[in-house]
Copies of this chain bind each other. A is one copy, B any other.
Amino acid sequence: MTKKLPDMEGPVCPLPRPHQDRIVLGHGSGGKMMADLIKGTFYPPLANPVLLSGNDAGVVQIPDNVRLAISTDAHVVSPLVYPGGDIGRLSVCGTVNDLAMVGAKPAYLTASFILEEGLELSLLKSIVESMKAAAEEAGVEIISGDTKVVAHGDADGLYISTTGVGWLDPDLQIGGDQARPGDQVIISGSIGDHGIAILEARGELGFKTNLKSDTAPLNQLVSAMLAVSKNIHVLRDPTRGGVATTLNEIAQQSNLGIILDESSLPIKPAVAAACEMLGFDPLYIANEGKLVALVDPDDTQKVLEAMRQTRYGSDAAVIGQVEKEPRGRLLMKTGFGSSRIVDVLAGEILPRIC
């Protein structure tokens, strides 16, 4: 008597289809597999006539009477997806924000991808969708790109480098060396949210918060500010190294002192608790949707009011001011009436934060 065959009812199991749901080296070949990846994964969400032209460079018109601003960033954040964002949203916002911080209107982005063999295609697709959403929110288009694939173990999922170009009013002079004594230091909202959210997403926090990263495009916030004041001297987004490192850079570039008022720093309870526990100073924790602005004292109130009308500036606050001394340094006035020098970050506290 032959052995009874196993029950053949139930769902049909398809044959395994290797290479159909993951990145393989062939996706970086320059040939048919790469063309299919680009047409299947990158073009559908990002499509625009310049990108679809398929030439080696994108070509666009330039408005009259502008200067060109250009900025680039590599993005290596880990994990790739975190509460409040992912590497796709981050890569668009990071570059949009760098352009906005010189006062430029971001217009076009390029994106180059380094993909690790084995990366899930569905994850890549969701990250590209996220780039599209962030680009739409910021009002920019991605018009040129590149894809490379490296062997398993030669990257960590994927890295994205974005470069942005924007148009800059010829009269605008915003930069770290433009600070003046008396300028008020404004922050657009609470500090440290991104860094602590990433830490929690990595499972390194030890307790649960409802914190989300602040990853956001700030160009519309900057437009609202520039619409009410011609006396915004410095704009900077305090990413790696946090507010402390950013303000130190400005103090050095302008050779002036910046005096912070500790009690005015907007810090969420979850960020304060996490920093307390881990021995971090929130002034050094990265932000990805905040800016500091150094503004003439006469214009500070109207700039603040304009910021508070916008989505990403609703918690804007004055946190300090510029003085002649201590030249090139950042000084913190504490709640106890004392003051201390706040230096730049020396080494590394949170690798791969952006």
Binding site for B on A (CB under 8 A): 24-26, 28-35, 53-62, 66-76, 97-99, 101-102, 104, 108, 110-114, 143-151, 153-156, 159, 161, 163-166, 168, 175-177, 236-237, 239-242, 245, 249, 253, 284, 286, 343-349, 351-352, 354
Contacts and interface: CB of A to CB of B under 8 A. Distances in A.
A36 to B, nearest CB: 10
23 contacts: A24-B348, A26-B347, A26-B348, A29-B348, A30-B239, A30-B242, A31-B240, A34-B240, A54-B249, A55-B176, A57-B166, A59-B68, A60-B67, A62-B66, A68-B68, A70-B110, A71-B110, A72-B110, A74-B147, A112-B163, A151-B351, A155-B155, A155-B156
Given A56-B236, A237-B56, A249-B54, A143 B70 contact: yes
A57 B102 contact: yes
A148 B75 CA distance: 8
A70 B165 contact: yes
B351 A59 contact: no
A28 B78 CA distance: 14
Contact of A240 (B30, B70, B97, B345): B30
Contact of A159 (B72, B114, B175): B114
B56 A101 contact: yes
B344 A31 contact: yes
B175 A53 contact: yes
B348 A74 contact: no
A99 B69 contact: no
A17 B30 CA distance: 43
Nearest to A71: B57
A33 B76 contact: no
Question: For the complex formed by this chain, how many copies does it contain in all?
Answer: 2
Interface centre among A55, A61, A154 (most CB of B within 10 A): A55
B32 A351 contact: no
A29 B240 contact: yes
Contacts of A153: 153
B348 A25 contact: yes
A218 B132 CA distance: 33
Given A56-B101, A61-B68, A76-B154, 12 more contacts: A25-B348, A26-B346, A26-B348, A30-B239, A31-B241, A32-B343, A56-B98, A72-B112, A72-B144, A72-B145, A72-B146, A76-B150
Contacts of A25: 347-348, 351
A236 B31 CA distance: 15
Contacts of A24: 348
A109 to B, nearest CB: 9
Contacts of A31: 240-241, 245, 284, 344-348
Contacts of A156: 150, 154-155
